[in-house]
Amino acid sequence: MSKKNKNVQKPTKEFMFQKRNYLFLFIGIAFIALGFILMSGGGSDDPEVFNPDIYSFRRIRLAPTLVLIGLGIQVYAILLNPNKKKD
């Protein structure tokens, strides 16, 4: 009978991302949520009445820009390598 190796190391459980990655992920989520909050509203209770407030700067330019910035931050957070050493 052969001897079994008793010095087998158990695989360590590590998180996929580091603390800095999660920080940027939460910042990106906040930007996206803020963009959708700014986009909401502006409707009318009566479908026969037109409300020109739906074409405001906040809903047409600012809110979608915040959502796109948030998505960019999310991509950056995923690709970020916090263990990279600077020379």
- Residue 10 inside a domain? The answer is no
- Residue 56 inside a domain? The answer is yes
- Residue 4 inside a domain? The answer is no
CA–CA separation, 87 and 76 (whole Å): 21
- Residue 70 inside a domain? The answer is yes
Q: Is the pLDDT of residue 19 over 60?
A: yes
Domain ranges, residue 64: 19-79
- Residue 23 inside a domain? The answer is yes
Q: Provide the pLDDT for residue 83.
A: 79
CA–CA separation, 44 and 61 (whole Å): 21
CA–CA separation, 19 and 30 (whole Å): 17
Confidence of residue 51 (pLDDT cuts 50, 70, 90): confident
Confidence of residue 28 (pLDDT cuts 50, 70, 90): very high
Average pLDDT, the chain: 87
Q: Provide the pLDDT for residue 10.
A: 80
- Residue 6 inside a domain? The answer is no
Q: Give one DSSP letter per residue of 25-37, joined into a string.
A: HHHHHHHHHHHHH
What's the domain count of the chain?
Answer: 1
pTM assigned to the model: 0.76
Q: Provide the pLDDT for residue 2.
A: 59
